[in-house]
């Protein structure tokens, strides 16, 4: 069940809602209006414990600038 972001066209309240069925009517929790728009939102993906830490990238080579490290010159 996806969580969508909405904005109420009546009062301007931004909120998130868990949607159980496609096409389900979502009222504004602030004023109760049903005139809401679904917002474009970003999502986060995680593939396990190792994905929570940023990847370490080696220092650039001083001669060629290769981001993977020394080039052997």
Helix (H) or strand (E) holding 45: none
Q: What mean pLDDT do residues 19-32 have?
A: 89
CA–CA distance, 11 with 8 (Å, rounded to integer):
6
How high is the pLDDT of residue 19? Answer: 84
Q: Please give the C-alpha separations between residue 38 and each of 9, 12, 30, 41, 64, in angstroms, as whole numbers.
A: 10, 12, 16, 9, 48
CA angle 38, 41, 43 (to 5 degrees): 135
How high is the pLDDT of residue 51? Answer: 53
pLDDT at 57 over 60: no
């Amino acid at each position: 069940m996806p969580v969508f972001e909405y904005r109420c066209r009546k009062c301007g309240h931004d909120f998130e809602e868990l949607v159980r069925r496609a096409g389900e009517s979502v009222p504004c929790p602030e004023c109760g209006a049903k005139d809401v728009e679904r917002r474009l939102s970003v999502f986060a993906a995680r593939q396990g414990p190792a994905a929570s830490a940023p990847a370490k990238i080696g220092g650039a080579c001083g001669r060629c600038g290769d981001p993977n490290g020394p080039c052997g010159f």
